[in-house]
Chains A and B, each alone.
Chain A
Amino acid sequence: MILVLAYGSILFSFASCLPALAMHQHRHIPSLSRRLGFDGSEDARFPVLMRQAVFGLMGLSGLFAILAGLSVLAGGEVLTGRIGLGLPWLPWHVRFDNLSGFFFLIIGIAVGAVSLYGPGYVSAYEEDRHPFAVLSLFSGLFIAGMLLVLLADDAFFFMIAWELMSVASYFLVAFQHDNPANRRAAFLYLLMAEIGALAIILAFGVLASFADGFTFDALREARLSTGWASVAFVLALLGFGMKAGLVPVHVWLPEAHPVAPSHISALMSGVMLKVALYGLIRFCFDLIGEVHWQWGLALMMLGTLSALGGILYAMMQTNLKRLLAYSSVENIGIIFMVLGLSMIFMAQNQSQLAALGFLAALFHAFNHALFKNLLFLGAGIIHHQTHELNIDLMGGLIKRMPKTGMLFLIGCMSISSLPLFNGFVSEWLAFQTALQVDVIGNGVLRSLIPVAAASLALTAALAAACFVNVFGIMFLGLPRSRHSDKAQEIADRGMLAGPALLAGLCFLFGIVPGPMIGLINGVAGQVLGASLPDGARLSWLHLAPVSTGQASYSAPMVLAGALIAAGICFRYLRRSPATVMRRADTWDCGFGGLTPRMQYSAIAFTMPFRRIFAKAWIIDEQVRKDSQGAMGQDVAAIHYSLQIQDHSWPRLYQPIERAVNKAARLAGRIQTGNIRTYLGYSFVTLIIMLWIIS
């Protein structure tokens, strides 16, 4: 029954491709549209109906995914099945357990929100240049691909689903292909996705060479020496890390996410990265089974590097969607760091603490899916209304778009991990995991883990600074451009409903995280074979992950306390009618004429960070003054330009690029372009073949 729900969600996502195809046909075959009952007079209604049909089916797919995920998490059983497709001797094996169910839930919520948001958003695309049929065809395939990855129970099926997801999302990134920069971003994405896929295939290959077959059951039985297991781990880390966006293989992410349509970037950033996380968890904790603390350490260090690097790069961006993409690198880093901690505890036979770390990582993955989706959808609304993605050209939007402002603020607060919101709970759990370090015998680990935790604190503080910058510059102050001055609240209800749903969930899981954590505890129980320590309490009121004596957090009580405190001073201070607020002009130091250009910009806001962490970027900052007057004594204009580059390009990718070019030139020598040489090659080959055969 539960499997039927899961299949249903996949079928609905495939089905959501169909109306769009029909619509595309209808434009070419007039008889079809006549048969469907649409005459020329009603032609305007047809695309609207098709949009609603496509996103309606997508919404059903999301709903079914949520139902399937919740029911398998509640039941806690492992369901298996087979689909008679694939190779003759290897039908597709399907397995639906708690881990898959949890990621089904994530995808379901995200897809549900996107399906509410989508119809309004895509209506802005011109049909001739950016046909809706293409967009919805590949969105449907993309979602189906992600869901199939979660169901796969053999390496062959897994890779097919994985490729479906990668290739479909390539077409989505390349959707607005009339811009050369977008084509370049899409190609980079495809290149890195395929290199990653190769690494994953090799990783499966290493496992399979010690097993009899490609099903995951057979791979689980494989007994590997530590060396081969480590080779498999490194390959898997490379492959899945490339998809997840770990530093230094993250470079496709800030290029590809900004150029896709916003609801697709929401899905890519919020969900697709989580599918890569699923792959790594499935591979390391489930298939290899026995983990080593060195792997955990590697994961933790890479995670810390990604978290710090991601947020530092995010801070310097002025393109909102690029900034959000870099912030995804940061959050993925946090998740991998905590997962590494969990691995270390697992290898040290502290399985209950490993469960705590695992739980923190998965809960953060869930939370990141919620708030990053929310922020990308919000960015889409802002782009829709202001035609602007540069935050330095916005300002004062909170008065022009109050509802969007409120939703975006909730997203910013969640991602900055402020108490009462969901991001805080998972970071709190991460800190609690790191604080349990005393049980580890190894002194090096004992001193490295708190340093990683302190980097996590730095990351969280930088994230807060980054999103104060984002919200403050975009929504507060005076408008910095005509577009943002003229901006209006979005009229489409669905485009507000999608983000509102996510914002509500961010708040809900910030206040009552207990039930959700209970569900993830079940996942840990199935994957790690261990759940939270015995003293742990997960009621809706109190959250005590280790024992009530060690640490506890009660968000409902905190909320109640905050409401009481604010209520008392609000009532008390506003009693007297003599102290009603008076509105006046802003104090301009007596000079008169405050203009929007006198405000702090995003580049100015982050200047202290640029100076303090100067080594983290390659900064090219230039100030040019135009002088005038007889002796050039007056400054007519000042031009300021700032270029900030990622270290990974010149350090890692350009050497690789040079090496590839060099190798290509060497290989090119045998190609003379002369037919006689090629005939000679054929002749020699023939001779050698004959010699081998005889």
Chain B
Amino acid sequence: MNWLLAALQTALFVALAPLLAGWIKWCKCRLQNRKAPSLFQPYRDLLKLTRKQPVVSHQASWIFTTSPYIIFSAMVLAASIVPLIAVDLPTSANADVIVLIGFFSFARFFLALAGLDIGTAFGGMGSSREMTISSLAEPAMLMSVFALTMSASTTNLSFAIGHVLHEGLVLRPSFIFALFSLMLVAIAETGRIPVDNPATHLELTMIHEAMILEYSGRHLALIEWASQLKLLLYGVLIANIFFPWGIAETLAFESLSYGLLAVIGKLALLALLLALSETLFAKMRLFRVQEFLSFAYLLGLLGMLSHIILEGAR
């Protein structure tokens, strides 16, 4: 039963991901005084892509054609260990937050290889930039995760969320620093403005899009879906770790549906915030990103130090 619930939660994760992307697009359009596409447009795009015939270069090796499946399953695995509407599901014991970061780097490894596979300049450029940014983002993310896991004294996400729930509403300086740090990392890792622009195909600015330029059909659908899933994963991490209230602690139907409503509400707010920041800020130069990310690292470090200095030993 619990395993079934865990599988259902993962499926819900996968199903909700395009909706979040649609909602962000909707908010951005309204904020920029444009007419918005339907909330369900990402689903239609994905469906359209799966029906198309994929065209693959003669140069492509098996790395290129299997990477979409690998990337997508890595993201689904990541989704299976992040509590969305309920904590204490059995899958959360399979992996902790460090393994979660491992899943992300697994997906990125193959995405970058796929970018290099065809042998065009675009792919290599995208791969090189993606690996650069991620290698700066990873320590920053780990720093903010450390600040959290040290106060919860566990790296298991489910237990950490449970710990925050039981502590109640305590104002912890380390959490606030970690929250901001994680938000900055999330922006960089999911390729949003000001680090990358998901809506552009201009070679000077793009990172993620450059790597997947050669993809089409179902391969493109899987990669797009995986990146939407990654966005949702970061959103849920921020929403459920720092504001876990509402998440189901028992597996009764009411608390689960309450948990679902709560997480949708939290995500809608977070997405609105993201859309607002994307409207207000412009994309920055590539070699400014390191400053952005070292700021995130600094925030994480401050969070950890304030945990050590202010919040004392266990």
Contacts and interface: CB of A to CB of B under 8 A. Distances in A.
B201 to A, nearest CB: 12
A586 B308 contact: no
Interface in B76-128: 76-77, 80, 91, 93-96, 98-99, 102-103, 105-106, 108-109, 112-113, 115-121, 123-125, 127-128
Interface residues of A, number: 86
A17 B57 CA distance: 52
Contacts, number: 264
A416 B107 CA distance: 12
A576 B137 CA distance: 40
B63 A398 contact: yes
B94 A553 contact: yes
Interface string A586-613: 1110000010101110001111110110
B313 interface: yes
A419 B74 CA distance: 10
Interface in A83-133: none
B138 A460 contact: yes
B55 interface: yes
Given A472-B116, A552-B156, A465 B132 contact: yes
B26 interface: no
A408 B153 CA distance: 38
A443 B309 contact: yes
A435 B72 contact: no
A458 B106 contact: no
Contacts of A551: 96, 98, 154-156
A580 interface: yes
Given A477-B118, A565-B76, A579 B139 contact: no
A428 B119 contact: no
Interface string A528-563: 000000000000001000001111111001100110
A49 to B, nearest CB: 39
A667 interface: no
A287 interface: no
A454 B142 contact: yes
A476 interface: yes
B73 A612 contact: no
A439 interface: yes
A469 B132 CA distance: 11
Contact of A612 (B53, B109, B117, B136): B136
Given A453-B142, A579-B53, A581-B65, A418 B308 contact: no
A137 to B, nearest CB: 42
A439 B65 contact: no
Contacts of A443: 308-309
Contact of B131 (A465, A475, A584): A465
Interface stretch (B30-38, B214-222, B270-278): B214-222
A469 B128 CA distance: 8
Contacts of B125: 600
B150 A573 contact: no
A599 B146 CA distance: 39
B2 interface: no
Given A552-B96, A562-B77, A579 B52 contact: yes
Nearest to B305: A447
Interface in A428-484: 428, 431-432, 435, 437-439, 441, 443, 446-447, 450-451, 453-455, 457-458, 460-462, 464-465, 468-469, 471-473, 475-478
A573 B76 contact: no
A431 B96 CA distance: 12
Looking at B113, B119, B287, B313, which has the most chain A CB atoms within 10 Å of its CB?
B119
Interface string B43-86: 00000001111111111011101000110111011001000000
Contact of A549 (B131, B156, B305): B156
Looking at A428, A441, A569, which has the most chain B CB atoms within 10 Å of its CB?
A569
Given A573-B50, A581-B65, A594 B119 contact: yes
B205 interface: no
A399 interface: yes
Contacts of B54: 579, 581-582
Looking at A417, A439, A548, A558, which has the most chain B CB atoms within 10 Å of its CB?
A558
Contact of A542 (B93, B287, B300, B309): B93
B69 A558 contact: no
Nearest to B79: A565
B69 A569 contact: yes
A598 B106 CA distance: 27
Contacts of B73: 561-562, 565-566, 569
B106 A599 contact: no
B166 interface: no
B191 to A, nearest CB: 16
A612 B119 contact: no
A569 B222 contact: yes
B61 A399 contact: yes
A310 to B, nearest CB: 15
A586 B58 contact: yes
B149 interface: yes
Contact of B105 (A416, A561, A562): A416
B290 interface: yes
A461 B134 contact: yes
Contacts of B131: 464-465, 468-469, 605
Contacts of B141: 457
A318 to B, nearest CB: 15
B63 A580 contact: no
A145 B150 CA distance: 45
Given A461-B135, A550-B156, A476 B119 contact: yes
A458 to B, nearest CB: 4
B77 A477 contact: no
Interface in A387-442: 395-396, 398-399, 413, 416-420, 424, 428, 431-432, 435, 437-439, 441
A437 B150 contact: yes
A438 B314 contact: yes
Nearest to A395: B119
Contact of B109 (A413, A573, A605): A413
Contact of A554 (B58, B93, B136, B139): B93
Contacts of B117: 472, 476-477
Contacts of B72: 565-566, 569
A596 B74 CA distance: 32
Given A419-B103, A438-B153, A561-B77, A431 B119 contact: no
Nearest to B137: A461
Contact of B57 (A566, A570, A579, A586): A586
A435 B146 contact: yes
Contact of A468 (B112, B214, B308): B112
Looking at B63, B108, B132, B314, which has the most chain A CB atoms within 10 Å of its CB?
B132
B159 to A, nearest CB: 6
Nearest to A550: B154
A435 B58 CA distance: 48
A138 to B, nearest CB: 38
B135 A458 contact: yes
Nearest to B119: A477
A471 B127 CA distance: 12
Contact of A553 (B77, B96, B113): B96
27 contacts: A395-B119, A416-B105, A435-B150, A438-B314, A441-B313, A450-B143, A454-B300, A454-B301, A457-B142, A458-B135, A462-B135, A464-B134, A552-B94, A552-B156, A562-B77, A565-B73, A566-B69, A569-B69, A579-B52, A584-B58, A586-B119, A594-B119, A600-B116, A605-B124, A608-B287, A612-B132, A612-B136
Interface of A: 395-396, 398-399, 413, 416-420, 424, 428, 431-432, 435, 437-439, 441, 443, 446-447, 450-451, 453-455, 457-458, 460-462, 464-465, 468-469, 471-473, 475-478, 542, 548-554, 557-558, 561-562, 565-566, 569-570, 573-574, 576, 578-588, 594, 596, 598-600, 604-609, 611-612
Given A565-B72, A566-B69, A587-B120, 7 more contacts: A455-B139, A457-B142, A465-B131, A551-B155, A569-B222, A576-B51, A600-B127
Q: Which are the 3 A-B pairs with shortest beta-carbon distances?
A: A600-B124, A472-B116, A477-B119
